Structure 1
Amino acid sequence: MLKEGIRILADSSENSVSAISINTGTEIPRNGNYMQGALIPKNTFRSLSDAEKTIVFTNQNNAAGMNYNEIIKIIQLPENLQNMIRSIHLNSLESYEQLEDTVTHEDFKILAKDLMEYVGSKSLTPEIYNLGIQIEPGNEYTTTKQSDEYVGLHIDSWDRQPVSERKNSRNRICFNIGKGSRYLYFINIPVTDLCSEFPEDNIDHIVTDFLMSNPDYPVLRIQIKPFEGYIAPTEYIIHDGSTAGSNFKDVTFTVRSNFY
């Protein structure tokens, strides 16, 4: 049963609500090149019930009183930046070789400057870490890899902070600048709450212990359409990406900071 936890802040339109779905828990991968011990969401996603919506969503007024890492936001790139991306065909990239050619153009340099100014306007600090543009195959049920193996649901550790400090770790913005939809999977329980049940400081062990002990705890899935992005505390929650069902290359732009 879904518990209170991390909330999603999105507009109240029917399109935003329908972009969120929920499943019936996690399982061991049946196929694919996964790391030993990896766990993934069951492919049993459905629409949220009214009761689940009250747990999942928050509004702007309530969000104002919450820590920036207690919220996932769905945002959209401004139209002028969308047009610039289309004009240099950044959303049509098929390879890193094409990207190397594109970044030499003057229009790309203008876009990069404007894009960093835009994400900077959403940061609580001047320190922004640009992780750049990634190009990956489409139609992957999960996306995060390590040494050519999928890792499954996980918690990031870029800042390498202890669990007790992770509420204040950097979060990330990840924009979908490709042509197909992609998804963010996440479990809405913050890692500090997981540790009340599994009191240790090894993040990988915490993830595995929780998922193995709670295989029926639901995973939430957010659809991120082209030119949309998410702000999410990926060092504070169990999560992964997905491009399931998309035949396009997965083209993303990612930055880390303290975004709100």
Structure 2
Amino acid sequence: MPLHIVYDDETALRSRCEIATVRTARPDEVTYETGAVVPSGTWRSLTQAEIKSITAPRQTLDSTVVEIVQPPFQDGLPLEQLAQPLGDADAEYLGQALAEPGMATTTNNYQDGRLIGLHLDNWDKLRFADKHTGRRRLCLNLGPGTRYIILGDIDAQATCRAIYPTAYAHRYPHTDDYRAYVASGRSFRIVRIRLAPGEGYLAPTEYLPHDGSTDGAPLPSAAAFWLGRWPRRVLPTLV
């Protein structure tokens, strides 16, 4: 299943979304890992056909859809406890990450500090057949700056099938599959969604390539993250 976003107001969705393609990082982009998949750099508004293609069908599994949400954050409430009453009492708090302003992508390899580009999470260690059943990530932008979530429109299972047409069933989908996909001359589209402080998303980051971004933002942005199995529309929507 590709990128699917749940929304009520197309105008509100369109106002905070842009689309681009991807490329492999160049050798002179030394801040990135070798082979990292990064935005092409040319963002534009979505066409009507593109909006239609990312609209979540009613029957789509909750575990695979994206939602743009307003987490009910309260000052003074420990972040560890924020997600517990939101539909999954077993939600796991992952911590916070700070992104400096002006970053096209934000996630780095903790071992050497190099940026990894668009990637798959692997908290749930799921094999190919189960990759679409992983927990979704809840993100809350703590500010002070605006940030983006970038999401690819080709899922981990489709990518795995394309790269390993006779052996995909035995694979554990990985970021390297997307790197091989783009290195082979293929591409995919990415959508970035703007999030102001206090706003957030629910997304299947175990299933779709993604990363944060502060591209064009004048201020840094901290974000808090959780993993859980939240039902669709359990959080107030922003679109």
> Which category of TM-score, normalised to the shorter sequence, fits these structures?
0.7 to 0.9
Count of residue correspondences: 222
Q: Does the aligned pair in 1 maintain the 2:25–2:36 contact within 8 Å?
A: yes
Q: Output the CA distance in 2 between the equivalents of 1:13 and 1:122.
A: 25
Tell me what 1:181 maps to: 146
Provide the TM-score with structure 1 as the length reference.
0.77
The percent identity for this pair of structures is 26
Q: Output the CA distance in 1 between the equivalents of 2:185 and 2:93.
A: 35
Deviation, 1:215, is 4.1
1:222 to 182, 190, 193: 193
Offset from partner CA, 1:198-219 (integer Å, 9 cap, x none) = 2342513311122223544221
Provide the TM-score with structure 2 as the length reference.
0.84
Tell me what 1:35 maps to: 33
Q: Which moved more, 1:129-138 or 1:240-249?
A: 129-138
Relative to structure 1, the CA distance from residue 184 to residue 129 in structure 2 (aligned partners, 3 Å threshold; closer, same or farther) is: same
Tell me what 2:17 maps to: 20
- Report whether the alignment pairs 1:51 with 2:25: no
Tell me what 2:132 maps to: 167
Looking at secondary structure, tell me which structure has more strand per residue: 2
Paired residue type of 1:259: W
Relative to structure 1, the CA distance from residue 223 to residue 32 in structure 2 (aligned partners, 3 Å threshold; closer, same or farther) is: farther
Q: Which moved more, 1:183-192 or 1:5-14?
A: 5-14
Deviation, 1:70, is 2.1
Q: Does the aligned pair in 1 maintain the 2:153–2:188 contact within 8 Å?
A: no
Tell me what 1:131 maps to: 94
1:197 to 140, 143, 162: 162
Q: SS at 1:126's partner residue?
A: coil
Q: Does the aligned pair in 1 maintain the 2:39–2:104 contact within 8 Å?
A: no
Q: Output the CA distance in 2 between the equivalents of 1:72 and 1:238.
A: 12
Tell me what 1:207 maps to: 178
- Report whether the alignment pairs 1:259 with 2:223: no
2:60 to 51, 63, 66: 66
Deviation, 1:10, is 2.7
Structure with larger Rg: 1
Moved over 6 A (4+): none
Q: Does the aligned pair in 2 maintain the 1:183–1:223 contact within 8 Å?
A: yes
Paired residue type of 1:136: A
Q: Output the CA distance in 2 between the equivalents of 1:22 and 1:74.
A: 16
Q: Does the aligned pair in 2 maintain the 1:28–1:39 contact within 8 Å?
A: yes
Q: Output the CA distance in 1 between the equivalents of 2:176 and 2:95.
A: 29
Q: SS at 1:57's partner residue?
A: coil
Q: SS at 1:197's partner residue?
A: helix
Structure 1: runs of 5+ lacking an equivalent: 86-107
Deviation, 1:231, is 0.4
Q: Does the aligned pair in 2 maintain the 1:26–1:215 contact within 8 Å?
A: no
Q: Output the CA distance in 2 between the equivalents of 1:214 and 1:230.
A: 31
Across the aligned residues of Structure 1 and Structure 2, the Cα RMSD in angstroms comes to 2.1
Q: Output the CA distance in 2 between the equivalents of 1:135 and 1:152.
A: 16
1:144 to 103, 107, 121: 107
Paired residue type of 1:144: T
